[in-house]
């Protein structure tokens, strides 16, 4: 037995009072993922074909671009929330847990920013390949 009262030994080891907030955020992002993925699937099925030109032309519209941007943010946020719970449950060393959660946050932020950047390139047409000049007729 150590010094101190039983309540003093367990104080600070209880709930962090953030579980319900985390749980609700994960449910909200799941609903957001469902709505945006259904929009994406239905929209792609309604396109005449799935060629690069057709899909990038469709994605250049304001509503599809907004929905895909929301899907990117919601998906990365949902993945971060779920993986954070796994890390908190199964990585017991405090230093390792901190390092892994830090890496998780870094990778999800970098991934989401990269995806949004590439979406921006598609929407603005900045990522389109340069047109190839036709070959000159005739020989050398």
The rounded distance, in Å, linking the Cα atoms of 29 and 20 is 14
Whether 140 has a pLDDT exceeding 60, the answer reads no
**Does residue 111 fall inside a structural domain?**
yes
Range of the domain at 23: 19-124
* CB environment 107-136: b (16+ within 10 A), e (fewer): ebeeebeebeeebeebbeeeeeeeeeeeee
CATH code of residue 78: 1.20.1300.10
Average pLDDT for 27-43? 98
pLDDT of residue 10: 64
The structural domain count of the chain equals: 1
pLDDT digits (tens, 9 = 90+) for 13-30: 655 566 788 899 999 999
For the chain, give the mean pLDDT: 89
Whole-prediction pTM: 0.79
> Is 72 inside any structural domain?
yes
Looking at residue 27, what is its pLDDT?
Answer: 96
Q: Would 81 be classed as within a structural domain?
A: yes
Within a domain: 1: no
- Per-residue confidence band for 44, with pLDDT thresholds at 50, 70 and 90: very high
Return all residues near 32 (Cβ < 8 A) that are at least 6 apart. Answer: 70, 71, 74, 78
């Amino acid at each position: 037995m150590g010094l101190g009262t039983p309540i003093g030994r367990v104080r600070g080891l209880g709930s962090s009072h953030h579980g319900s907030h985390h749980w609700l955020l994960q449910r909200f992002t799941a609903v957001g993922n469902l709505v945006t993925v259904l929009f994406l699937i239905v929209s792609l099925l309604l396109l005449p074909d799935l060629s690069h030109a057709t899909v990038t032309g469709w994605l250049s519209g304001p509503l599809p671009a907004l929905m895909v941007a929301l899907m990117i943010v919601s998906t990365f946020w949902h993945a971060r929330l779920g993986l954070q719970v796994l890390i908190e449950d199964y990585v017991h060393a405090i230093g390792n847990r901190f390092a892994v959660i830090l890496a998780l946050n870094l990778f999800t932020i970098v991934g989401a920013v990269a995806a949004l950047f590439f979406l921006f390139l598609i929407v603005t047409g900045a990522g389109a390949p340069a047109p190839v000049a036709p070959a000159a007729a005739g020989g050398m």
